Chain A
């Protein structure tokens, strides 16, 4: 593991973050936007774990931050999907461009 410099792992996670950002910019379907958000959260997790492993190998803080991020991502995905299903019931579409009313 130590033959790979920390910078290369950080470049991978930065690339994953920007792939997720690209998806968030270009997609207009809510489920695919949610997938992009999951990619972004994963790239952050990779950063936390890599920093913990390389810079502070005696601590466990990065592990806990990753665990909490995963738990919050699960809660966020569940709430987002509930909102998407409710939106589909009202607009019969999950395209963000179609959801242009605040109240109906």
Chain B
């Protein structure tokens, strides 16, 4: 066994166990912390795949942004020490059944499909400079239009959040 193979299986087990704890934990704050671990594990998987930039973005946006936002909203809306009400037994049973069936079906499909074997060693330069140049290039393979569209989307989302969450005065109602 080579070290990188072992690292992959450890990362995979870590991601799946923490993900499962995040969706089954009875306390909402613990659930958020397990989600944090799971997202960090996914960032580790990107590092393992050799995509350092995506891993960095994952850490900055998910771990540093979204999880902190979720924890803030938990503090604003919940008593954090309280247990969440347990889901209805039949609902748990049937969702577990549906999820297991879906997973088995996906695994069977993956097992039957053979992917073309193109394992070129280190063919692409995955550096940040290459990614940035192609992201902002206006040539055929450039992504400048989606980049601009998504900046508009982020602006719209920001303004929308402020408008939705703003506190209206009682007499305006």
Per-residue B-contact encoding for A58-91, CB less than 8 Å = 1, 0 else:
1110011011101111111111011111101100
* Residues in A whose Cβ lies below 8 Å from that of B157: 75-76, 78-79
> Pick the contact of A71 from B23, B134, B154 — CB < 8 Å?
B154
Chain A's interface: helix, strand, loop or mixed, by majority? helix
Asked if A103 is at the interface of the complex by the 8 Å CB criterion, the answer is no
Report yes or no: A23 in contact with B73, Cβ–Cβ below 8 A.
no
> Pick the contact of B23 from A32, A58, A67 — CB < 8 Å?
A32
Give CA–CA (A38, B57) in the complex, Å: 15
Given the known interface contacts A66-B54, A77-B66, the answer about A60 and B87 at a Cβ–Cβ threshold of 8 Å is no
B148 to chain A, nearest CB (A): 12
Report yes or no: A14 in contact with B103, Cβ–Cβ below 8 A.
yes
Q: How large is the interface on A (under 10, 10 to 19, 20 to 34, 35 or more residues)?
A: 35 or more
Report yes or no: B95 in contact with A22, Cβ–Cβ below 8 A.
yes
Asked if A4 is at the interface of the complex by the 8 Å CB criterion, the answer is yes
* Residues in A whose Cβ lies below 8 Å from that of B115: 6-7, 54-55
* Residues in B whose Cβ lies below 8 Å from that of A46: 42, 45
Report yes or no: A35 in contact with B124, Cβ–Cβ below 8 A.
no
Give CA–CA (A94, B126) in the complex, Å: 43
A25 to chain B, nearest CB (A): 4
* Residues in B whose Cβ lies below 8 Å from that of A58: 120, 123-124
Per-residue A-contact encoding for B116-148, CB less than 8 Å = 1, 0 else:
101111111010001100110000000100100
Report yes or no: B73 in contact with A36, Cβ–Cβ below 8 A.
no
Per-residue A-contact encoding for B28-39, CB less than 8 Å = 1, 0 else:
100110010011
> Pick the contact of A55 from B103, B118, B164 — CB < 8 Å?
B118
Give CA–CA (A78, B42) in the complex, Å: 21
Given the known interface contacts A19-B23, A70-B61, A84-B77, the answer about A12 and B87 at a Cβ–Cβ threshold of 8 Å is no
Report yes or no: A19 in contact with B19, Cβ–Cβ below 8 A.
yes
Interface residues, chain A, with chain B CB atoms under 8 Å away: 1-4, 6-12, 14-16, 18-23, 25-29, 31-32, 34-36, 38-39, 42, 45-46, 49-50, 52-60, 63-64, 66-68, 70-79, 81-86, 88-89, 94
